[in-house]
Amino acid sequence: MAVDPDDVAQGTVNRLDAHTGDGIRHRAFTCLVFDTDGRILLAQRAPTKRLWDGHWDGTVASHPVEGQSQEEATEQRLEEELGISPDQYDDLRVTDKFEYKRYYPNEGVEWEVCAVLKVTLDDTSLDPDDDEIGGMLWADYDHLHENPALYRQLRLCPWFEIAMRRDFS
């Protein structure tokens, strides 16, 4: 969904057009998944991803389709990518929103109005989809938030780095 700077829908846009050339501003989300001990689940993007393959994300990111809320799209991606069902949490919520634009060398661009959602799992059972997830890591969020340079070798996704620097609680 193409959007203006205030996240007002401007019509549909296909994924390739949104992510090539100078890109088209569009709606996106990232969901940060926590456990009850305050750890965040980092998920490595599969090596087959066109943009930011092999980079670490926190935890899923995607785009809602027309008529779908951020929460509905997030529930769908949590289930599809990690096997996380809604009965494992009861606190999914939007905590923040920001706009950013980042180019991925020789491949494309992300130009998104990105909602940040947060969820805490009561049950941390996971069933990752290998086509989406290349690896997983539970990290102490406070340590990550206060010391992001220590995690640079993970090659963090740009939208996750932005979300992590903001106050989304």
The count of C-alpha atoms lying within 13 angstroms of the C-alpha of 10, restricted to the half-sphere facing its C-beta, is 14
- DSSP, residue by residue, 18-32: HTSTT---EEEEEEE
Give pLDDT, residue 168.
Answer: 58
25 token code pair: 């501003």
Residue 55 domain flag: yes
pLDDT one-digit tens code per residue, 57-88: 989 999 999 899 999 999 999 999 999 999 99
Q: For the chain, how many structural domains are there in total?
A: 1
Q: What is the CATH number of the domain that holds 160?
A: 3.90.79.10
Q: Do residues 2 and 13 make contact, with C-beta atoms less than 8 angstroms apart?
A: yes
Q: Which residues are catalytic?
A: 112
| List of the chain residues with pLDDT < 70 | 167-169
Tell me what the pLDDT averaged over the chain comes to: 91
Q: Do residues 136 and 155 make contact, with C-beta atoms less than 8 angstroms apart?
A: no
Give pLDDT, residue 169.
Answer: 58
Beta strands 26-35 and 108-121 are: parallel
Domain holding 74, by residue range, is 2-164
Residue 169 domain flag: no
Give pLDDT, residue 135.
Answer: 94
